[in-house]
Amino acid sequence: MPRPSLHTAELLSVLISAPAVLEQTYTDCNPLNTSCLSNTGTTESTLYYDFTQDSTLYQWETLTGTAQVGSEGIELTINEQGDAPTIAAPFYIFFGEVPVTMKASPGTGIISSIVLQSDDLDEVDWEDLGSYTTQLQTDSFGKGDSSGYDRLTWEPIDNPHNIFPEVNWALPAGHHKTSIRNQTLRYKSQNLIFPDSMKSLSSQIFDSTAIPPCGSKGSYFLTSVNIRRVV
């Protein structure tokens, strides 16, 4: 299974001219380089996860840290520098649509993220930076190429740390579309580094700060995930 994306931490480190303290995106086995075991998929066409219900958390995997379930959904919390609690769906998807309802964490350097990523390091993501109150970031990468950030965009949103907006990917063959509250923001056609392979879905909060003082605290809530038209 691919490990959670930290491309944003890498980008921030470039912007502040300091090395990122966190490991960059990687995978346990890249099928472009070697033979890998087959990944688990699903035969369901629709899968809805209400994370305000205790039982739903156990249908996902906790990759790092701990996750708590409450009235606002799954809570992923940073208590000290180095914390990066992460959960992931236990299967891969190809084409389809993934609406996610979330409430991001405030805090300088804190990133709340939803990531679709493949073993060969194709990736699309939504990321909220805790010091930004009027926009979210969305980006895509193909085959682990992070040599440029020309696919990164900042999308307008009001108060992502106090409300539960729905963010969405639509991933038909050959392109992908992103939206917030059903408003289409970006429609991207296929190119040489288009993320076009089967992906796992994960969610994470981490502190991207590379220069002291580090160690912001915060909590990120994931309320629901709806995976539709899975192929």
Residues annotated as part of the active site: 123, 127
Closest Cα partner for 12 from 161, 113, 118? 113
Closest Cα partner for 89 from 226, 229, 231? 226
Are 130 and 107 in contact by the 8 Å Cβ rule? The answer is yes
Cα gap 66→18, rounded to integer Å = 29
DSSP code per residue over 40-76: P----SEEEEETTSHHHHTTSEEEES--EEETTEEEE
Question: In which residue are the tokens 């969610």 written?
Answer: 203
Are 158 and 54 in contact by the 8 Å Cβ rule? The answer is no
What secondary structure letter does DSSP report for 34? Answer: S
Radius of gyration of the chain (CA): 16
